[in-house]
Structure 1
């Protein structure tokens, strides 16, 4: 993958510094929408709502109203962390017998499950789980929001009315899924042009092509007027569910009404002199906690010393996850397709928010009544029966998401990432960089990382020194890769940091669209 890449090119992102609030997102325009909400007097939660819905319009293959996820909230006035789960579930009417194993070996998407006949758990209407992203935003807004809900959805509605502009990055993403998108007439109509991926530019000028998202704009307008109830028990949700059933899936209005966001006590993780708060339950939070527990017993004197320790900690943590929670490795050739953003407002309130459709373009199915691209959350389940995470009806999905809050060395921060199984390893390393080595956010985000995703080997950034590589080889088989714009060999994090006097925001160095944006004056 990296043979043709330049050895002399260096990519650097400056960290945003401000005495106000800041939003760090995988899409700059989503971060700008959140930052404008902060300028209007909004809470970090208000900014997260605006940012999240714009992400669903401008990164529609990563997340959207037909997805799910989780978020960690820090409330500065009470000094408390709150965990909010808005994950997906399998529909109550799902028929396990529809997902017979094909006997053709391993599936070709994010997880190396045994392949199912016609890849029904990966793409198509039967792969669609019950979403809850809209209710996740609504639940947080109801509890802490300051600005009217409709105002927060207005930026997403305006973007959808214009339609997402197709630049080189969007064209490349669409090209990677063209064959799958062509299977669904509504997905093909939205994302393809004459059955082909769109061309982002001519030789001399940028193209002006845009994706038609007018139907999505209408649906977002309904959500702005009627709130999450429009999707969870209302007419909008009924129309979406009917679309899914018409295409052979199981989703019903009753499923949508039943799957609502839930607040939980966070999983608090003491670590040396630091403290972290992560998601409990069927997320990567417990895996993060196990990794940090193991890491606490290691002697970390320098960052170079730490990499073998990170590898050992992640092998131990994934050993527990595979034994008790049910995931069984990952296909390293496929990127995780999720979006994460982090927010801090001028009062010190924080949000670490991860939302997803699971795979790139989810199920590759569009609901024509709503204009929403649908998730493929059923792929989170192991199609083989008799395992901890085996597919069943009415069952919550086991997510890879790991939004995290932390406090170390007099600094408070919110972190998270996209990238499937790569997420938790990235969050563990960034947490250690900030806690163990007192790095600033810019240094932490530019520091090389490794990945251990539950397999037998280690993937390491080629920027690491030969001595570190040798030490890693003593732990497990090693593969060296270079950071690239696409595909991402490592997760794509976004974080904010608060020192009380100043606030900072950063995103993954290699993301073409990702950026942190400070609250305007």
Structure 2
């Protein structure tokens, strides 16, 4: 990693200019603002907006649109997500722009005559596409809290798509892999191709003229540039021609929602995260309450006791997720106050056996305990406003389908609904009522954009992609910073585990957990499964005494990086 620092303290100006080469094992510092995302070009777009006088909301919007261009596997206008916003006065709000089921959807839409999932239709094909929410969410956030004109925030992404940017090795490797897949997935056949008909090579310029046109309409017409007019018409036409059910009516009716955040606490810190239909905030706060009850800082990091306790907390959080959580507009009786309470955590903790793994029983959910693709970025500005935003297409490159006239890829988020009513299995399929498919319902999500504050000021801004692993990745990173006082880069890179109740197995990052610990955990009843990497974290911490931001991006993100000023 190379850094260049330039401080002009006589003028009271502090600038940090960075050339960030694929390493997140060192921190980056700034006094005036910072953007940490999965693509360094998009991070720079966000910082440029901050330099022009924009606030954190403006920078987040510009970064999000830029990621559509530069990080197409997850950056999107064809998907949806969540944003947590902390303003300089210490007030927190959230924006829910999760995708919705189309009006023609039904609880059994993915099943054959025998009640079985047909042809993986909840993940593959246009029936798997939810009504996109990203443009509506970004527009609503701008209307409520943005500072610069909307057109100025979308303009950089229009220029990036029109004029192109240099193809990186990371994106090129993904392009080769995706282009070799099923040629019936139309948009992907030539998605990464240049004018010569070949995949654009590293060092060459990749242009996306169709996407530039779509973004130009959004720049000019705001929300209506996507949900009405020629874009909406082309989406409907494409769906009808290829077996989808989304219509212009679905698009016109879609609305993003501003919601109250969930709030928890841990050892004097306040934790703010997303409410349902994200399950991340509920599970995160529930698990942090368990760690506070356990006095986790007294347990050595990475020890057998640590891994066992964290895994047992995860097991309980995910059992409650499966049983209780879904779209709050369809589930009015979710026991959120109970799940978030310290008393509930105390009762849960009393039934953790520190010498033996619990059993995940699909017939009983969490009751015995009573008595991969998404992208995230974090933004802060000079006034102390902060954004934690996670948005997604579900799988990498979503459903891998889309109109070549529009230039963007659709999500396959309908796969996040429970596909078979009433059927919960040991393999991890959930069939509980709160997350069954219904028209205009938002599917349950694991996205966990989170802001931790201290005395009303941002202390940690964090989030990650990774499907259901998101919750646990964010949980462990928050725990690393708050309980073990790790600096942000080390907290991000530290060993992670994952347990999601069902299937009953404990994933761990190989080579980061000692053989002796693994052996002991197996004797305690855990089934251990090695994996290469869990999560791709993007985080920022703030030192109020020094008035200094510190940021880091996960080293597993090939094109990710920090931009600061």
Give the TM interval when normalised to the shorter protein: 0.7 to 0.9
**Which of 85, 90, 107 does residue 96 from structure 2 map onto?**
85
Note the C-alpha offset of 1:207.
5.5
Unmatched 5+ residue regions in structure 2? 1-21, 328-359, 362-371, 423-430
State the partner residue of 1:108.
none
* Structure 1 pair 96–444 and aligned structure 2 pair: CA distance change class (3 A): closer
Note the C-alpha offset of 1:318.
0.9
State the partner residue of 2:217.
222
The TM-score, its normalising length taken from structure 2, stands at 0.79
- The reply on whether 1:45 has 2:57 as its aligned counterpart is yes
Unmatched 5+ residue regions in structure 1? 1-9, 104-113, 201-205, 330-335, 483-488
**Which of 228, 232, 235 does residue 233 from structure 1 map onto?**
228
Deviations 1:335-384 (CA, angstroms, capped at 9, x unpaired): x1111000010111000001111111111111233212111111112221
Alignment of 1:281-292 (within 5 A): 281-283=276-278, 284-292=280-288
* Structure 1 pair 33–427 and aligned structure 2 pair: CA distance change class (3 A): same
- The reply on whether 1:150 has 2:151 as its aligned counterpart is yes
What is the root-mean-square deviation of aligned Cα atoms in Å? Answer: 2.7
Question: Separation in 1 of the partners of 2:198 and 2:389?
Answer: 31
Query: Residue 233 of structure 1 contacts residue 254 of structure 1 at CA under 8 Å; is this kept in 2?
Result: no
**Which of 288, 292, 296 does residue 296 from structure 1 map onto?**
292
- The reply on whether 1:497 has 2:541 as its aligned counterpart is yes
Query: Residue 24 of structure 2 contacts residue 552 of structure 2 at CA under 8 Å; is this kept in 1?
Result: no
Note the C-alpha offset of 1:385.
2.2
**Which of 254, 262, 268 does residue 267 from structure 1 map onto?**
262
Query: Residue 178 of structure 1 contacts residue 192 of structure 1 at CA under 8 Å; is this kept in 2?
Result: no
Question: Separation in 1 of the partners of 2:449 and 2:109?
Answer: 34
**Which of 461, 472, 477 does residue 527 from structure 2 map onto?**
477
State the partner residue of 2:111.
100
Question: Separation in 1 of the partners of 2:401 and 2:35?
Answer: 31
Deviations 1:90-136 (CA, angstroms, capped at 9, x unpaired): 10013556522498xxxxxxxxxx97323322122221110110111
- The reply on whether 1:341 has 2:391 as its aligned counterpart is no
- The reply on whether 1:248 has 2:209 as its aligned counterpart is no
**Which of 38, 46, 55 does residue 26 from structure 1 map onto?**
38
State the partner residue of 2:557.
511
**Which of 381, 386, 396 does residue 417 from structure 2 map onto?**
381
Question: Separation in 1 of the partners of 2:49 and 2:23?
Answer: 30
Question: Separation in 1 of the partners of 2:65 and 2:182?
Answer: 22
Alignment of 1:99-178 (within 5 A): 99-101=110-112, 116-163=117-164, 165-178=166-179
Alignment of 1:318-329 (within 5 A): 318-325=318-325
Secondary structure, in 3 states, of the residue corresponding to 2:555?
coil
Query: Residue 326 of structure 2 contacts residue 443 of structure 2 at CA under 8 Å; is this kept in 1?
Result: no
Question: Separation in 2 of the partners of 1:326 and 1:116?
Answer: 21
State the partner residue of 2:340.
none
State the partner residue of 2:348.
none
Question: Separation in 2 of the partners of 1:30 and 1:309?
Answer: 38
Query: Residue 93 of structure 2 contacts residue 259 of structure 2 at CA under 8 Å; is this kept in 1?
Result: yes
The TM-score, its normalising length taken from structure 1, stands at 0.86
Secondary structure, in 3 states, of the residue corresponding to 2:190?
helix
Question: Separation in 1 of the partners of 2:103 and 2:436?
Answer: 15
Question: Separation in 2 of the partners of 1:481 and 1:363?
Answer: 24
- The reply on whether 1:398 has 2:399 as its aligned counterpart is no
Question: Separation in 2 of the partners of 1:193 and 1:154?
Answer: 23
Query: Residue 460 of structure 2 contacts residue 541 of structure 2 at CA under 8 Å; is this kept in 1?
Result: yes
